[in-house]
Amino acid sequence: MDINGKGDSVDELKGLRITNLDDDDDENIAVDEDDNGEDEDDDDEEEQESVILGFVEKPEHSWSLLRQQFPSKAGGVPAWLDPDNLPTRMSCVCDVCGEPLQFLLQVYAPLVEKDSTFHRTLFVFMCLSMKCLLRDQHEQWKRHPDKQSRSVKVFRCQLPRANSFYSSKPPEGNATDKPLTSGAPLCNWCGTWKGDKFCSSCKVARYCSQKHQVMHWRAGHKLECQQLSLSPQSSDSNACHGGVAQIKAPKVASKSLWPEYEMKNEHESEYDTEMSGDEEHTDNSLIPRNKVDDTMKSLMDTFEGDGDKKSWASFQERIGKAPEQVLRYCRSAGSKPLWPILGGRPSKADIPICSYCGGHLCFEFQILPQLLYYFGVKNDAESLDWATIAVYTCEASCEGVGYKQEFAWVQLGTAINCPS
């Protein structure tokens, strides 16, 4: 994405954006004029596109992941862009099992085409159950039914420069930055969804669902409930003092959230130069080389034909330049995901239109399974796993208040990637 044209704030905001392409990079962006959709024979879909890679690392400062810093992050809890008009009700739960969804990652990706997208963030949530992900993967093959049962959901939120939540000036990038409002109270258990339900005893603890209230009660709230009910304290931990919201990282009781990381971005082209003729970056990888080799061998053994093996080899060659990447971003015209295998790719007809404006969806980014390694997810049959998750968003980034649900395409292993 080109971020030029936002006035003198652009240079100061560049470091916050998942993509920071300058005008000098425009010649590297090619438009696919002969777009036949997500055809299976497109082995080099991204070859001429300028791709931004996302990497995760532990944040140096806790304040750097607060919403007033407009972060890109993975794990922990979301830093909601619009803190008031959060997704609610059925939007928050897995459509298969009904459990509240867990936060996976968010990408700060503003667009310069119009003022309404001066701030723009995409949020991805998913169910922890692999059984639900398998069901989700089959549901996506049902072309545009009235209702799909999805366990992976994507929400887009955008704000103009002048809004009621943040200053129109760029953040200082330190602990002094404050938002203008405190935002809606969040669930005390997950810290993710709006806490619109109270504990009936203490009237202090808030929850997004009865499920999370029960889990919190069993995990220790039963003992602290009486004390809270006698304490003259506010139920809103983000109270305003002197008209300025004192936003702190929410205290979350759940121990099952994924570990929190800050997401940093680099141009893939930088690794083309660095990797020429040596394996230095791979040798210094945080992911052990023997683990990568074992994973590759395991996947190769499951492939059903030479086509999948060729596709995987091409994918691995591209990813191997920067094996720690967890996300690939490219919203250029005609851009497509880098598919690991042939099976399970969507056709053009499989990608729905925007459910709000009726316009086309375009590919924006994909999430790689390397993220699961950083989250400490076990490598067994019952654990979450995917080949890639491709996120498609409204090409016009249509306007509206709050959060709009976008579309995610899940590609799994070859044995389970075909429609049932």
Per-residue pLDDT tens digits of the chain, which is 420 residues long: 433 333 333 343 344 444 333 334 444 433 344 444 455 445 444 445 689 999 999 999 999 999 999 999 999 999 999 999 999 889 999 999 999 999 999 999 999 989 999 999 999 999 999 999 999 988 888 776 667 789 999 999 999 999 999 999 999 999 999 999 999 999 999 999 999 999 988 989 999 999 999 999 999 898 888 877 676 654 444 544 444 444 566 689 999 999 999 999 999 999 986 555 444 444 444 455 555 555 555 555 555 557 778 888 889 999 999 999 999 999 998 899 999 998 899 999 999 999 999 999 999 999 999 999 999 998 888 899 999 999 999 999 999 999 999 999 999 975 556 554
Coil/strand/helix, residue 111: coil
What are the two backbone dihedrals, phi and then psi, of residue 238, each rounded to the nearest 5 degrees? Answer: -105, 55
Measure CA 106 to chain center: 4
Here the tokens at position 308 are 């999948």
Tokens 């040798």, residue located: 283
- Measured in Å, how far apart are the chain's first and last C-alpha atoms? 37
User: H/E element holding 104?
Assistant: strand 102-108
The span from the CA of 380 to the CA of 386, in Å, is 12
The span from the CA of 79 to the CA of 69, in Å, is 9
The span from the CA of 195 to the CA of 185, in Å, is 6
The span from the CA of 147 to the CA of 138, in Å, is 13
The span from the CA of 408 to the CA of 246, in Å, is 35
User: H/E element holding 131?
Assistant: helix 130-139
- pTM, two decimals, is 0.83
The span from the CA of 13 to the CA of 118, in Å, is 11
